[in-house]
Amino acid sequence: MDLLIDHRWLLDRQEDLLGKNLAVQDYSALVAAVARHRVNTPSLEVDNPDAYWRAAALLDTIVLQRPLPARNELYGYGVAVAYIEASGRTMDAPYEQWRDLINDIRALRNTVFDTADRLRSWQTPQPS
């Protein structure tokens, strides 16, 4: 199932995670995140992106484009987890793995495809 979200969904996650006290300062970054996760052919090798790639695109864009004045890493993490869960998938990773992943994104050591691979590696088996 391809779950495609819009900027209102991102705003709802922002309010859920961080409350109303931390307002979005750059709505264009949210528009970019939405547009990026909707791409159907992100590369010549990937022409059918899964929920993990779409979550990675959201996470990567939020962390790098910084739509909030602060706490973008927490916001990106929360959006990625919420997206994966809303897509009917699950994953389990401790804080340290998320911290390392976000640090790799910020340092530009990961492509969105690397991030998606890491998220996929954290998926939990689906019940039969």
- Provide the CA 126 distance to its chain's centre, in angstroms: 21
- Has residue 126 been placed in a domain? no
Neighbouring CB atoms inside 10 A of 65's CB total 17
- Has residue 62 been placed in a domain? yes
- Has residue 69 been placed in a domain? yes
- Has residue 127 been placed in a domain? no
CATH number, domain with residue 39: 1.20.120.1870
Instruction: Give the count of domains, the chain.
Output: 1
Per residue in 54-89, pLDDT (tens digit) is 999 999 999 999 999 999 999 999 999 999 999 999
Per residue in 92-108, pLDDT (tens digit) is 999 999 999 999 999 99
Cβ-proximal residues to 9 (8 Å cutoff; 6+ apart), any chain: none
Specify the pTM. Answer: 0.92
Per residue in 13-57, pLDDT (tens digit) is 999 988 877 889 999 999 999 999 988 877 767 777 899 999 999
- Has residue 68 been placed in a domain? yes
d(CA 6, CA 87): 14
Range of the domain at 43: 7-121
- Has residue 32 been placed in a domain? yes
